[in-house]
Structure 1
């Protein structure tokens, strides 16, 4: 059974902020507006940690701590206060409170204090330590002595919990969300998280794939097999206007192809189906313009992203309000890295497109990049001959615009080991990122996902 953390504060926004932070890290909480409510709760025997405001009407946090102790409930207690004083701190610690933390407290300080409380409870001695080992909190609320905690949750589990909380937030706050399915490794992880978030039901939103008609054949086969195997609602949209104009990545160039077949195709689909939130697998470590983006990234009525007008996301609180015509792009994997993604794929046994694994493949070298000859639509230069090399792909897109890398990594474990030595971004092989100065940021402003 997961430990239950009780939050008591007469200020509802504070209660909710604390609850959201802890829930995002997979911790179970119960919230109360007063000490009297907590004392009347039938969940009192489950409580493993108490977070209480010092100053509340009728019963202070310290008085609540005394009542619990007198009733035989030795629950490690964290007192939080907007008006900390040395005398108040000394009194609280002397009377058995574990931690006395000034508001506002950072997410790190909150989690570290909760870990300490759970560790103390698990060890069977909830009394506060005294003397030189006593916990100290600085004026900012940052702990100065805590380095580890109880109920250890791996880095991946924390990322998973955060992403699942974001997905549930989208389902709760938006009228008609959709999950963008690009078929790559990040999409596979995102889909796995969505299935976990709403299990045993199906995810409460469809999948949307913007098909440029130039994806690798293995990608399309994997997409269709996955949707069929999992019984998912899959929408495939092609920009037919671009098809009629003969737009392709070879004769039209990467910039125009991306603009028409990807960006305009996406905007068409979002407008056609009336989606107000599009969930994607972009990560901040991929490319510098993506590091500017919020988790809930606001778009105006033209689907335009303006990095100077984004909403703050303090305490994992997200402003999801939209006016008619506006929309949101949501990125639950924002805080993941490429290595995190592959370690999670390994831990969870997630299927991915075989193109990610090293294999002998027919390639030609163009501009220092190995391009796979996936079908006969790729024109060869007069002196160009495909050669078979053992390569794999770190990122997937339209095959004439996606470079492979020389590699021997044929399993997920070998990819993880390879990435530990990597010094370049996975998007080094995506030609669309460098077809002009500030290419990705410009594309994002125009509506590119």
Structure 2
């Protein structure tokens, strides 16, 4: 009997999967208290899927961490909680609201809370004594992330210095760190948005419903379709419209836009992405438009 051959696309996906699983196993072996950032978004869903595969059939020895802005879309939080309950995982939630309530943070004039995630993240790392954090960041998302290594050591203040990136020749990763430092690890760094969606299709990874086309009340601001919520709604001459949209990325509802779409299946989403000329952050994240180097500035401050 002949052995079935994988298509070129499947071979590429399996190579990416193997690399990611190797990285996750390296983290589990090398660090004492690793955590995995899990927002309920597509990249973190794929990362969790990979982590489960890496350690199967043993239970996942990694805490899940979510920095909750309080401005998340309800479908995403429902998905997050269901995944945690079904998987029996430990979840730590750092709520930005608590930092606002006790004065450690103050609301921004523009109402956007994504930039406020840094302080709760660093405080929680210190409180929980996490020495490594796995995240779903990819190099194709932003120029600052393109500079990032897979193992990225941060100083005692969470700061990232691109000049101190370590070489990673022949897939050799260096997780050594001094007391007080922690390491951010990006197992899907070499993936693209299209790779992620093809893997979701191949592995049948479940996602929140907002990633597929649905009817939603939206209004246009700065070229993006935003939806009203606790963060506010239309102002001035902005008006609500009910349109068929989907989300390419998940973040603070005040700065994460939807895209017009009729794609209701993974295959249809893949067809849309294949012809897109904008990354998902470039197309739908207002927080990355605050300055030319918005992402790099936030990374230097300790953001993921």
Per the TM superposition, whether the score is higher than 0.5 is yes
1:444 pairs with 2:302? no
Aligned to 1:387: 241
- The answer as to whether partners of 2:221 and 2:238 remain within 8 angstroms in 1 is no
Offset of residue 214 of structure 1 = 0.6
Offset of residue 384 of structure 1 = 3.6
Residues paired across the two proteins, number: 296
Aligned to 1:422: 276
SS in 1 for 2:162: coil
Offset of residue 388 of structure 1 = 0.2
Aligned to 1:188: 45
1:335 pairs with 2:190? yes
CA–CA distance in structure 2, aligned partners of residues 237 and 173 of structure 1: 25
Aligned to 2:77: 220
1:241 pairs with 2:95? no
SS in 1 for 2:191: coil
Segments of 5+ residues of structure 1 without an aligned counterpart are 1-121, 123-148
CA–CA distance in structure 1, aligned partners of residues 206 and 77 of structure 2: 14
1:409 pairs with 2:246? no
CA–CA distance in structure 2, aligned partners of residues 210 and 438 of structure 1: 22
CA–CA distance in structure 2, aligned partners of residues 318 and 194 of structure 1: 18
CA–CA distance in structure 2, aligned partners of residues 344 and 388 of structure 1: 31
Offset of residue 241 of structure 1 = 2.4
CA–CA distance in structure 2, aligned partners of residues 295 and 265 of structure 1: 23
Label 1:213 to 1:324 Cα distance change in 2 as closer, same or farther (>3 A): same
CA–CA distance in structure 2, aligned partners of residues 434 and 243 of structure 1: 28
Q: Deviations over 1:14-39 (max 9, x none)?
A: xxxxxxxxxxxxxxxxxxxxxxxxxx
1:163 to 17, 20, 38: 20
Segments of 5+ residues of structure 2 without an aligned counterpart are none
* Aligned pairs (5 A) from 1:338-417: 338-373=193-228, 375=229, 377-417=231-271
* Aligned pairs (5 A) from 1:33-432: 154-239=11-96, 240-245=98-103, 247-248=106-107, 251-254=109-112, 257-260=113-116, 262-373=117-228, 375=229, 377-427=231-281, 428-432=283-287
Offset of residue 392 of structure 1 = 0.7
CA–CA distance in structure 1, aligned partners of residues 273 and 212 of structure 2: 13
Offset of residue 381 of structure 1 = 1.9
CA–CA distance in structure 2, aligned partners of residues 409 and 224 of structure 1: 25
SS in 1 for 2:65: strand
SS in 2 for 1:155: helix
SS in 1 for 2:194: helix
CA–CA distance in structure 2, aligned partners of residues 377 and 169 of structure 1: 40
Larger radius of gyration, structure 1 or 2?
1
SS in 1 for 2:235: coil
Offset of residue 277 of structure 1 = 0.3
Task: Indicate the RMSD between aligned Cα atoms, in angstroms.
Answer: 1.9
Superposition TM-score, scaled by structure 1 size: 0.63
Offset of residue 153 of structure 1 = 6.5
- The answer as to whether partners of 2:71 and 2:230 remain within 8 angstroms in 1 is no
Label 1:422 to 1:382 Cα distance change in 2 as closer, same or farther (>3 A): closer
